[in-house]
């Protein structure tokens, strides 16, 4: 791996440490971890324009090796994976201000996710204030790493004003992170069996069962299709818009798959860890029709806000009586707690013990993610941006049954796994 060979040049003088606690380059208490688990220092290693000060920080951060992987004394990180300083919350005004009443669910969870092991009982990892985060210039920021949601370079939907009514066609530019996986069958024909969500310019998030197992009996994942709307039509797709005229897509972009990364612990029997990544051979462009969705910053399902609504979209069937759709569809789905969801999967014909890496949504008659949607995103509109909260995993047969929600892999449980498997 190029990253590890390159990183070792900075850590040849590193000594092994006995414990996990260490002193980071910023003087804070840190944890001695493989560099792949330290986002800020990993970004420094991958930065081709490193300064002498950056190199010095890398040298002073070295704390050993795990096999051939360099370990670094990693400082605390904010929920945005930014290196911070572990201080009293009263010394971090922008976090303290989040607790001014009324306190929203998102703000409370963000403060809780910022906690660190400092000297103060209410220590938080204090990073950059929101007003210092620059927004825009997304084409220049379009890299293999998932974007920081605060930059608004992910999850921003050009068609955000178009509200979802359920099981209906999207506009041509809605959900520009949706992808289709092209499979090559034994007859050298392309089949569309699964979907996914673009999370950076090189990576697509999907389900593990779309990458391994019985799906390979039908075909082998070969390409990722981006910017699609109508799979039955070649060339730009056009649809009328309010006020007259048409909105048209650009040509689709098809990128060969370089590598598939199913979760190593995925089990088709228990349905656990049904999540995977696809690395594309080339970088995807950033346009109105192709752009990434944001990874979740906190687990909003811990304390869902009132009227918590989620959204599924893709080219799957509306319900079990319909074939797969040729155009992009969307549907609004209610969040269902695991306590309410588990009874639907206690019956013998679909007996599954749900766990913390899964979440449920749906259970309304005729509204569901369905065949053809596997691997696609379950989305939450958090202010101006969309986050991918779930990955379509499994559900009832037939789909769209009342009181039987669909089950999704819970992305917030896998953010660290996702980022640790991303290469520059």
- Which residue out of 31, 81, 123, 209 is catalytically annotated? 209
Three-state secondary structure call for residue 149: helix
Residue 79 to residue 76: CA distance in whole angstroms: 10
> What distance in Å separates the CA atoms of residue 204 and residue 219, rounded to the nearest whole number?
18
Catalytic residue (one of 28, 274, 299, 368): 274
Q: Which residue has the tokens 């000594």?
A: 15
Q: What is the C-alpha separation between 395 and 362, in angstroms, rounded?
A: 10
Name the phi and psi angles at 183, rounded to 5: -110, 140
Q: Are 156 and 385 in contact (CB under 8 A)?
A: yes
Interatomic CA distance for residues 206 and 318, integer angstroms:
20
The closest alpha carbon to 59, from 69, 77, 47, 45, belongs to 45
- Measured CA to CA, the distance from residue 318 to residue 44 in angstroms comes to 46
Q: Is 251 known to be catalytic?
A: no
Q: 239 forms bridges with which residues in the sheet?
A: 247
Q: How far apart are CA 133 and CA 176, in angstroms?
A: 24
Give just the sign of the alpha carbon dihedral 410, 412, 417, 419.
positive
Check 114, 374, 409, 412 and give the catalytic one.
374
Paired tokens of 192: 């569309």
Report the alpha-carbon distance of residue 216 to residue 220 in Å, rounded.
5
274 has catalytic annotation: yes
Q: Which residue has the tokens 């992987």?
A: 69
Sequence-distant (6+) residues with CB within 8 A of 334 are 308, 309, 310, 361, 362, 363, 364
Burial annotation 167-198 (CB, 10 A radius, 16+ → b, else e): beebbbbbbbbbbbbbbeeeeeeeebbbbbbb
* Cis, bond preceding 102 (omega within 30 deg of 0): yes
In three-state secondary structure terms, 131 is helix
How many angstroms separate the Cα of 146 from the Cα of each of 84, 97, 299, 419?
19, 27, 17, 8
Tell me if residue 65 falls in helix, strand or coil: strand
Report the catalytic residues: 209, 274, 374
């Amino acid at each position: 791996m190029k990253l590890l060979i390159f990183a070792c040049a900075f850590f040849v003088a590193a000594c092994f440490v006995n414990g996990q606690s260490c002193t980071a380059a910023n003087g804070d208490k840190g944890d001695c971890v493989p560099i792949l688990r330290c986002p800020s220092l990993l970004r420094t290693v991958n930065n081709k324009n490193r300064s002498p000060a950056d190199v010095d920080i890398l040298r002073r951060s070295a704390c050993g090796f795990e096999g051939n992987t360099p370990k670094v004394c990693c400082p605390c990180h904010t929920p945005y994976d930014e290196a911070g300083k572990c201080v009293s919350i009263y010394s971090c005004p922008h976090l303290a201000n989040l607790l001014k009443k009324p306190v929203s669910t998102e703000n409370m969870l963000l403060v809780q996710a910022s906690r660190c092991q400092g000297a103060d009982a209410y220590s938080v990892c204090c990073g950059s204030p929101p007003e210092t985060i620059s927004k825009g210039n997304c084409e220049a920021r379009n890299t293999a790493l998932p974007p920081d949601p605060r930059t608004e370079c992910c999850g921003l939907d050009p068609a955000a004003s178009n509200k979802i009514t359920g099981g209906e066609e999207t506009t041509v530019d809605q959900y520009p992170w949706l992808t289709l996986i092209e499979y090559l069958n034994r007859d050298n024909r392309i089949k569309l069996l699964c979907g996914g969500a673009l999370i950076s310019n090189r990576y697509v998030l999907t389900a593990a069962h779309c990458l391994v197992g019985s799906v390979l009996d039908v075909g082998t994942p070969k390409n990722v299709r981006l910017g699609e709307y109508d799979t039955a039509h070649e060339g730009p797709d056009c649809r009328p818009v309010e006020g007259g005229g048409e909105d048209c897509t650009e040509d689709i972009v098809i990128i060969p798959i370089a590598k598939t990364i199913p979760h190593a612990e995925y089990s088709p029997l228990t349905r656990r860890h049904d999540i995977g990544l696809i690395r594309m051979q080339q970088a995807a462009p950033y346009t109105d029709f192709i752009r990434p969705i944001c990874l979740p910053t906190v687990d909003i399902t811990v304390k869902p806000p009132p009227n918590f609504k989620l959204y599924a979209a893709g080219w799957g069937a509306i319900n079990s009586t319909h074939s797969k759709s040729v155009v992009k569809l969307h549907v609004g789905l209610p969040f269902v707690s695991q306590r309410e969801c588990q009874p639907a999967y206690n019956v013998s014909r679909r007996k599954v013990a749900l766990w913390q890496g899964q979440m449920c949504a749906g259970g309304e008659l005729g509204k569901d993610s369905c065949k053809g949607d596997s691997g696609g995103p379950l989305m939450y509109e958090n202010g101006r941006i969309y986050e991918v909260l779930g990955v379509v995993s499994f559900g009832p047969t037939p789909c769209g049954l009342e009181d039987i929600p669909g089950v999704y892999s819970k992305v917030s449980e896998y953010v660290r796994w996702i980022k640790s498997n991303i290469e520059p």
